[in-house]
Amino acid sequence: MFVPMVPTSEIEWRDYVSQAQETLKQDALALSSGARKSYADLLRRTFSSDDAAFTLLDDQLSEIGALTENWDSYGAPVPARETIERARQAIGKLRFSRLLPEIVAASAEGGVSIYFSTGSQKAFIEFLNEGDVLFARYGKDDEPNVKVLRNGLQDLNDQVLQEIRDHLGARA
C-alpha cells in the first residue's frame, strides 16, 4: 500500500503544491478544449494561480497553429506562424501583467484574437496576418471603441492593459 509523504515544513508544502500543479497541468493538456477551460477554472480556484490557465492558452495557440485553410468552412485563411508568435508574446505580456484573457481563438479574417469578458463588458486584441494589431472594447451600455495599435506589440503597453482592466471592472 502506497502512503504519500505528508509535507511538514513550508518548503515541503511549496514543493508539494508545485508538483501537484504541474501534474494537473499535464493532465489538462490531454483533455478536449471545452474540458480544458473547465479544468483551468478548477485549477484557479484550487491553487489561486493563473499559471494553469496561461498554460492552456498557450496550448490553444498550438492548436491554432495546426489549422488548415478554410478551417471555418467559410474560406478563412490560416493564421500565419508569425501572427501566432506575436500573439504568444502578447500572452507573455498579459501573464507578466497578471491580466488573464478568457480565450485565444483564430480570427476569421486571418489572424489570432485574444478575448476578455466580464458580464456584458468585452474586449479583444486581434493580431492580423498582415501585421496589424487591433484593440477593441465594447459593452451593453457603451459605444464600441476600436483602435489600431500602430506599433503592434510595442503599443500593447501598460496604458492599453489598464484600459482593459478599467473596462472589465472587478475581474481584471
Task: Give 8-63 pLDDT, tens digit per residue.
Answer: 556 665 666 566 656 655 555 555 556 666 666 665 555 545 677 787 888 889 99
127 C-beta neighbours (distance < 10 Å), count: 30
The half-sphere exposure of 135 on its side-chain side, counting CA atoms within 13 A, is: 19
- What nine digits make up the cell of 121? 463588458
76 phi/psi in degrees, rounded to 5: -65, 135
pLDDT score recorded for residue 140: 84
Residue 135 pLDDT: 92
Q: If DSSP codes are grouped into helix, strand and coil, which group holds residue 123?
A: strand
What percent of the chain is modeled with pLDDT above 90?
34
According to DSSP H, which parts of 3-67 are helical? 10-28, 33-47, 51-65
> How confident is the model at residue 111, as a pLDDT?
94
Residues forming beta bridges with residue 115, ordered by sequence position: 103, 124
Q: Give the number of C-alpha atoms closer than 13 A to the C-alpha of residue 25, restricted to the C-beta side.
A: 19
Type of residue numbered 143: E
Binned at pLDDT 50, 70 and 90, residue 122 comes out as very high
Please tell me the least confidently modeled range out of 2-11, 85-94, 140-149: 2-11
User: Residue 48 has what pLDDT?
Assistant: 46
Weakest-pLDDT range from 89-93, 132-136, 149-153: 149-153
pLDDT over 70 percentage in the chain: 69
Kindly report the pTM of this predicted structure: 0.70
Q: Kindly state the average pLDDT of the residues 101-121.
A: 91
The candidate with the shortest Cα–Cα distance to 51, out of 98, 90, 8, 110, is 98
Q: Which of 163, 26, 35, 17 is nearest to 99 (CA)?
A: 163
The identity of residue 130, as a single letter, is: E
Q: Which residue has better confidence, 59 or 5?
A: 59
Which of 111, 137, 138 lies closest to 126 in space, CA to CA? 111
Domain ranges of the chain: 10-171
89 pLDDT above the threshold of 80: yes
Q: Taken in order 44, 115, 92, 59, is the CA torsion positive or negative?
A: positive
Instruction: Tell me the average pLDDT across 84-112.
Output: 91
